[in-house]
Structure 1
Amino acid sequence: MREIRALQSLTSAIEHASVLDKLIDVDVKAVKALVQPDALKQLLHGVPFGHPLHPLMVQVPLGAWLSSALLDLLPGTHRSSRTLVGVGVVSAGVATTAGLTDWSELDREQQRTGYVHAVVNGTAMTLYGLSWWQRKRGNHLRGKVLGMLGLVVVSGGGYLGGHLSYRQRAGVSEHGEVPFERPPVGA
């Protein structure tokens, strides 16, 4: 089966969206300034684990949000679903930190895709934050609707993350070394 042409056109347009470059330059500088010292940067890159940390970390918010959506289909699960939405929001923040650390070291076309990936997922995080707030206030239907919208949006972000990893090969090493690993000082 062939790739859907509209999706191929979309990802190509994002990869070549030079209009993002000035924003990317500012954000790369900010990430590199904030993620210090080098030991923290290496931890966020996943060097001690032998591969990037971000793909592993995104499993927690995605699992929490998907579980929340399933609970939303059952009666009497408001509190459990709200808890899962909150776990997803908090853990997404941690996963984002690792993702931004990796993103700051990618090539320009990968950074463009990663930037849109981050904006889309940031939108999903906002929807989930609003979902949690509505649920906390007792507006369960609004919370459920915002959660379902968040799930749709984060799925789009996941698509871009998959494109970044599998098509653009972001964070993939040539010879099996850990991506982003720095040689020891003096080596």
Structure 2
Amino acid sequence: MPSELQQRAKQPVSATLAGPYGHPFHPILVTVPIGAWVGSFVFDIASHVVDDPDFLARGSMWLIAVGVIGALVAALVGFLDLLAIPTGTRAFRVGLVHMTLNLLVTAAYAGNLLWRRAGDGPSGSVDTGQLVLSAVSLAVLGVSGYLGGKLAYHFGVRVADQATQAEGFTPAHQQRPGRRAG
């Protein structure tokens, strides 16, 4: 049986903004910056192996911009999830580190974007320094993602309790009339 503190961390602060019980919005929103930033890194590397790298350098810059915007939206919703975690707990401390790392990564990508836009914008292969900054940012993002997974899968933050989860494992012939599976 989950403690009162555990149960509180499973409930949304605002179902409208953070997602209803058992369906948080933060995990789906983080796919935008992750995908955009991984894509930009692929473009960065590819810009060093093609004859005409300009379009890849510009595409990477745009992907970084999409990632920064997506990260800010995900951060707002993630902050609401953090507010659901009782302070003074290990889960809250992990949540603070997760948030801090994500904000640092977002700031690094915002700086990378400004660096790429400097002067006449990107042309030629992506600068080695910009590529290294992206690689380091992705590595830190991976650590932060691990911590986010720990929050959800180890501590059960914003995850439905076991009784609710058990509904998904009830054979169809044992379900109550009027309830559909799904």
TM-score under structure 2 normalisation? Answer: 0.70
Q: Greater relative contact order (Cα 8 A, min sep 6): structure 1 or 2?
A: 2
Matching residue within 19, 22, 29 for 1:46: 19
Q: Tell me the number of residue pairs that the alignment of Structure 1 and Structure 2 aligns.
A: 137
**Structure 1 residue matching 2:164: 3-state secondary structure:** coil
The match for 2:78 is 99
The match for 1:55 is 27
Map 1:11-160 → 2, pairs under 5 A: 41-47=14-20, 51-75=23-47, 76=53, 77-107=56-86, 108-137=89-118, 138=121, 140-141=126-127, 142-160=129-147
**Structure 2 residue matching 1:172: 3-state secondary structure:** coil
Amino acid at match of 2:85: L
Q: CA deviation at 1:147?
A: 1.4
Q: CA deviation at 1:172?
A: 1.4
The match for 1:35 is none
Distance 1:144 1:44 in 2: 35
Q: CA deviation at 1:45?
A: 1.9
Q: CA deviation at 1:173?
A: 1.9
When Rg is computed on C-alpha atoms for both structures, the one with the higher figure is 2
The match for 1:22 is none
Contact 1:58-1:95 at 8 Å conserved across structures: yes
TM-score under structure 1 normalisation? Answer: 0.68
Q: Which 4+ runs in 1 deviate beyond 3 A?
A: none
62-71 vs 139-148, which deviates more? 139-148
Contact 2:105-2:141 at 8 Å conserved across structures: yes
Amino acid at match of 1:72: D
Q: CA deviation at 1:163?
A: 0.9
RMSD: 1.8
The match for 1:176 is 164
Amino acid at match of 1:42: A
Unaligned runs of 5+ in 1: 1-37, 178-187
Amino acid at match of 2:66: V
Amino acid at match of 2:91: Q
Q: CA deviation at 1:160?
A: 0.6
Unaligned runs of 5+ in 2: 1-12, 48-52, 166-182
Q: CA deviation at 1:143?
A: 2.4
Distance 1:171 1:67 in 2: 29
